[in-house]
Amino acid sequence: MAEGWLRYFLPSAEVWSAGTEKTWVKPEAVLVMAEVGIDLTKHYSKTLYDIPNLWEFDLVLTVCDEAEAACPRYPAKTVRRHVSVPDPSGKELNSWRSVRDTLKRISRRLAMAVTEGHWPETAELKRVVDAKE
């Protein structure tokens, strides 16, 4: 869902999403993103090693504590940020919607910072997690 939002807010950026293991894009994610007009049907599950130019990222954003712990060390030029977002797997659609909306706020703030010419600090991204639109 974060990849969908970041592609929406930063259409000219190269955005990649990967997990700690290859699974599938969950149907609930596809459904709740479609509710807000973002199509994930062509998205597919990837691990870090499925992504081209793995070591050439400008920014790595993790939203899962497990992913943050497993994320490799990157060269000094790569900015890393982490914001913990609950995993809605196995929960009702309202949990998926809540995570979708949280990821929207994080992605919008990240996009705003990028257009202002800087990378947002982790604290800046965390502040929007509990904010309501």
- Give the tens place of pLDDT for each residue, 6-19: 999 999 998 988 87
Contact 33, 40 (CB under 8 A): yes
What was the pLDDT predicted at 30? 96
Residue 60 sits in a domain whose CATH number is: 3.40.50.2300
Residues above pLDDT 70, as percent of the chain: 94
Work out the end-to-end distance of the chain between its first and last CA atoms, rounded to an integer number of angstroms: 18
Q: What is the per-residue pLDDT for 60? A: 84
pLDDT at 82 over 70: yes
| Alpha-carbon gap, residue 71 to 129, rounded angstroms | 21
Residue numbers of the domain that contains 52: 2-129
Number of domains composing the chain = 1
Q: Are 119 and 113 in contact (CB under 8 A)?
A: yes
In order, the DSSP letters of 21-68 are S-----HHHHHHHHTTT---TT----BGGGSTTGGG-SEEEE-SHHHH
Quickly count helices (H) and strands (E) in the chain.
5, 2
3-state secondary structure of 19: strand
